[in-house]
Amino acid sequence: MHSMHGKFIWYELMTSDTAGAAKFYGEVAGWTAKDSGMPDMNYTILSIAGSEMGVAGMLPLTDEVKARGIPSNWTGYVAVDNVDRVADHFVSDGGKVVHGPIDIHGVGRFAVLADPQGAVLAVMTPIIPAGGVPPEPAPDTPGTFGWRELMARNGTEAFDFYSGIFGWQKDTAVDMGPMGVYQLFRKDDQVIGGMMTKPAEVPLPCWGYYVNVDAIDTAVARVTKAGGTVIQEPMEVPGPAWIIQAIDPQGAYFALVAPKR
């Protein structure tokens, strides 16, 4: 487990319309949707087309979540050695426990946490199957998640917090001019995301997740045709790569990344 600590291992969409979201992401990312078979739980596994490999889960917004005014949203899961210890660390540093820690039979123990600046993500100690962890596809495989991004109230303090818990290390610091520094971070030898102090137009600290696609312009066309809204037009970023940011028809923020236009 030690080698997995600090690694993003799962992504989850909580949405107001699971059927509509499954159709949308099927058209945009090529995912197929299948019921998880978990008893007494409406949970859908989203997989890469033509593969049994799940890349994300989906569940409906609960009445409790709706009552709190929380919209449809994506959450990333980070593997940790001990969920309860990490939850205590979040709280002792000024964050809070949103949900859990709780066990999922046959899957692992997880908690949903808010960092000291208010950004939410989940942590999990997964149950490793007897055969070990299955091999992963190449990092840029279409339909997988290729990047994770934190818009923090204070990027420097956020990195110090997460590196202390997950062992993330600094990589390249990209000078964004008036927007400040975009700090790339890595887990061991793989660069997995970036974080920065959020621009004023971003209302709250939050995590965002980028799905790999073949080419960004054709992906934009799929997003708009399927009823989504592009809020950041194609932009070239170091890599080189092209990205967009968008809102799905149910109101969840997501992003796409591609090696070409």
The pLDDT of residue 39 is 80
Q: Which two tokens stand for residue 128?
A: 């490793």
Average pLDDT over every residue of 16-28 = 97
What would the pLDDT profile of 2-19 be if each residue is shown by its tens digit?
579 999 999 999 999 999
Dihedral-angle region of residue 188 (phi above 0 means left; psi in -120 to 50 means alpha; beta otherwise): left
The pLDDT of residue 136 is 78
Pairing of strands 206-212, 229-237: unpaired
What would the pLDDT profile of 58-86 be if each residue is shown by its tens digit?
999 988 888 888 899 999 999 999 999 99
Average pLDDT over every residue of 242-257 = 97
> Are 156 and 117 within 8 A, CB to CB?
no
Entry pTM: 0.94
One-letter amino acid at 47 equals S
Give the residue among 200, 195, 201, 184 at the shortest CA–CA distance from 155: 195
What would the pLDDT profile of 97-128 be if each residue is shown by its tens digit?
999 899 998 889 999 999 999 999 999 999 88
Q: How far apart (Å, rounded) are the C-alpha atoms in residues 137 and 247?
A: 26
> Are 5 and 85 within 8 A, CB to CB?
no
Q: How far apart (Å, rounded) are the C-alpha atoms in residues 226 and 199?
A: 29
Q: Indicate if the pLDDT at residue 196 is higher than 60.
A: yes
The pLDDT of residue 67 is 85
Q: Which domains does the chain have, with CATH numbers?
A: 2-126 (3.10.180.10), 145-258 (3.10.180.10)
Per the DSSP assignment, residues forming a β-bridge with 102 are 110
Phi, psi of 153 (to 5 degrees): -70, -35
Average pLDDT over every residue of 183-205 = 94
Average pLDDT over every residue of 171-185 = 93
Q: What do you get for the CA distance between the two ends of the chain, in Å?
A: 38
Question: What is the CB neighbour count within 10 angstroms for residue 74?
Answer: 22
What is the average pLDDT value for the chain, to the nearest integer?
93
The pLDDT of residue 1 is 43
Instruction: Please indicate whether residue 70 or residue 23 has the higher confidence score (pLDDT).
Output: 23
What would the pLDDT profile of 127-176 be if each residue is shown by its tens digit?
887 666 667 778 789 999 999 999 999 999 999 999 999 999 999 999 98
